[in-house]
Amino acid sequence: MQTIEVGLLKDLILTIAGKGTEAIVDVLEKEKSVNEFKIAEKLKLTINQTRNILYKLSNQNIVSFTRKKDEKKGWYIYFWTLNIQKALERLLHFKKKELYDIEHQIKSKENKHFYICPSDNLEFTDETAINHDFICPECGQLLQLATFDKKIQELSGRIEKVKKELAVVEEELVRIRAEKLKQLEKELLKKKQQKARQRKKARAQKAKTMPKLKKKKIKQRKKVRQRKKAKKAKKAKKVKIKKGKRKKK
Ligand SMILES: [Zn+2]
């Protein structure tokens, strides 16, 4: 995974499972599946704390587990896997929401103003400024009208950042999905080839036993045909005789 992706996934896990849990990405990212005791050790947490984090993440399909029975102790050991695709999809969802929220904030700040004290930078709403006769209650300076332009600029900067992050996540998802499709095609081709091989084998087997069977079948068919022919001939003869009798009358 790219560093930027690891960082984004850490943000995601922080949002879902809370502060101090994001290091789990570093542990899970390196291996296909990791023993939960090893995860606890790496995170320097108790096994129960570790499981709590993992359950929270598995509720969102970001991680999944397989279990193996420990033959000596007789209990199950859980191995956890990071579902990178699902995690990125969740991330995409969060980032889209973030984008929407920022855009909403900008809209609500446009065409609005507030008051500010030029000496100590205190901010006041319309109402409080009027209540204080536009005089700063802290220092007595006259308040000045201010707009949210600076804040809007800052928010616009954040929009650019989130859009870039979205592009990274989307690109990676496209790559992962294409890879999955390729894998699927490969498996399908393999199955097809296997079936073709099986058919070939079956045909070869048939060809081996065929000569005897075929001869027998051909003989049987010939007999049936002969019998049918004989029957037909007999019928024709009967009809002829009948016709002959009629003529006599
Ligand atoms: Zn002031």
What pLDDT, on the 0 to 100 scale, is given for residue 247? 56
What pLDDT, on the 0 to 100 scale, is given for residue 248? 54
Each residue's pLDDT tens digit, 76-134: 999 999 999 999 999 999 999 999 999 999 999 998 999 999 999 999 999 999 999 99
Q: Helix or strand or coil: residue 26?
A: helix
Q: How far is the CA of 141 from the centre of ligand 1 (A)?
A: 5
Nearest to 87 by CA among 189, 20, 11: 11
Q: In this structure, what token pair is assigned to residue 225?
A: 């045909």
CA 226 vs CA 189, 220, 221, 233, 239: distances in Å: 49, 10, 9, 11, 20
Q: How far is the CA of 223 from the centre of ligand 1 (A)?
A: 119
Q: How far is the CA of 128 from the centre of ligand 1 (A)?
A: 13
Residue 236 has pLDDT above 90, yes or no: no
Domain boundaries, the chain: 3-82, 88-112+148-195
pTM assigned to the model: 0.67
C-alpha to C-alpha distance for 170 and 96, rounded to whole angstroms:
11
What pLDDT, on the 0 to 100 scale, is given for residue 246? 62
What pLDDT, on the 0 to 100 scale, is given for residue 245? 63
Each residue's pLDDT tens digit, 132-165: 999 999 999 999 999 999 999 999 999 999 999 9
What pLDDT, on the 0 to 100 scale, is given for residue 175? 94
Q: Domain 3-82 falls in which CATH fold?
A: Arc Repressor Mutant, subunit A (1.10.10)
Nearest to 66 by CA among 79, 82, 47: 79
Strand-pair partners of 114: 146
Q: How far is the CA of 130 from the centre of ligand 1 (A)?
A: 15
Each residue's pLDDT tens digit, 191-208: 999 999 999 999 888 888
Each residue's pLDDT tens digit, 57-74: 999 999 999 999 988 888
Q: How far is the CA of 146 from the centre of ligand 1 (A)?
A: 14
Q: How far is the CA of 127 from the centre of ligand 1 (A)?
A: 17
Q: Helix or strand or coil: residue 37?
A: helix
Q: How many CB atoms lie within 10 A of CB 65?
A: 16
